Amino acid sequence: MPKNDLMKKMQEKQFVKVCGAFDVMSAKLAEMNGFDAIWASGFGIASTRALPDAGILTMTELLDAVTFMAEACDIPVIADCDTGYGGPSNVAHLVKKFENAGIGGICIEDKTFPKQNSLFKDGKQEMISKKDFVAKLVAAKNAKKDSNFVIIARTEALIADLGVEEALDRANTYEKAGADIIFVHARKKDPAEIFEFYKKWKGKIPIMSVPTAFPTVTLDELKSRGVKMVVFAHQTTLAAFSAISDVVKQMSKIKSLDDLETKLASMDDLFKLQGMHKIRDHESFVEEEVKKMDLN
């Protein structure tokens, strides 16, 4: 099970880098490349099932996918739990299940169920009231047993075009309700609005950013504007899609595998990821133990 040290890392390092993952392999690769934590992306996990990122997957389906990641990783795994799968009681149940599974924390957002992906052009972006979302946060906070379990409150005020003042009001209220981290999502290519939020934010808890919509903004710039946690939420999913599409397209046409133009990983790379050597060692160990029993 992963060590749940995300908040500690944030205090020590001032800035943490989190990588989106859609399955265990992408989570493991992120860990092997030095990320501080994993963002188990709802968008990514929905993509692996070829289902819309629109609240279609159930809570237990998400829990299954994220549990596999947490079992394989030593760094914390944060689960993107959309709107929390219902009201405060559903959120309390969710926190209990995810915490028991060794997952490092959850993110819930203040949209109506079923939510639609925030970056989906012309998607439905309706929000619930501040009061109703606070009730979910209070339920989440009261349900967690480990103080290190992270509750990220995500406001969609900018996604719903309600402006910076609404985002600030909601973020301040969510901090009071017990959130550990605030995530204000933004979809405009011009970062002026989200930068205005960062400038006006006077809260004490850390701010998280997903810069997919404004990719030219550097990490140093985010850091200088007070962001404490960057999440590259989508890129592993997008990369996997393009890499697999490319190789599959080529394989549909080639006469032999030698014609493939893509540089592939080796089988050994994957055996390493799987920990195949551990199987050999384990089998030798079991064989020795059985021998010692002197059976006839």
Give the residue numbers marked as catalytic: 53
Beta bridge partners of 150: 105
Residue 47 interacts with ligand SPV (CB under 6 A)?
no
Residue 119 interacts with ligand SPV (CB under 6 A)?
yes
d(CA 272, CA 221): 36
* Token pair for 85: 């799968």
CB of 121 to Mg ion, least distance (A): 16
For the four alpha carbons of 108, 81, 38 and 242, in that order, the dihedral sign comes to: negative
Residue 20 interacts with ligand SPV (CB under 6 A)?
yes
Interacting span for ligand SPV (CB under 6 A) from 23-31, 37-45, 144-152, 239-247: 37-45
Interacting span for ligand SPV (CB under 6 A) from 40-48, 245-253, 256-264, 271-279: 40-48
Q: Among Mg ion, ligand SPV, none, what does residue 133 contact (CB within 5–8 Å per kind)? A: none
**Cβ(54)–Cβ(115) below 8 Å:** yes
Q: Hey, which residues between 9 and 68 contact Mg ion (CB under 5 A)? A: 42
Choose which of 23, 31, 80, 175 interacts with Mg ion (CB under 5 A): 80
**Cβ(184)–Cβ(158) below 8 Å:** yes
Instruction: Encode 133-150: b = buried (16+ Cβ within 10 Å), e = exposed.
Output: bbbbbebbbebbeeebbb
- Nearer to ligand SPV by C-beta: 4 or 117? 117
Task: Write the Ramachandran bin of 272: left for phi over 0, alpha for psi from -120 to 50, otherwise beta.
Answer: alpha
- Nearer to Mg ion by C-beta: 42 or 88? 42
Q: Hey, which residues between 186 and 215 contact ligand SPV (CB under 6 A)? A: 210, 212
CB of 215 to ligand SPV, least distance (A): 13
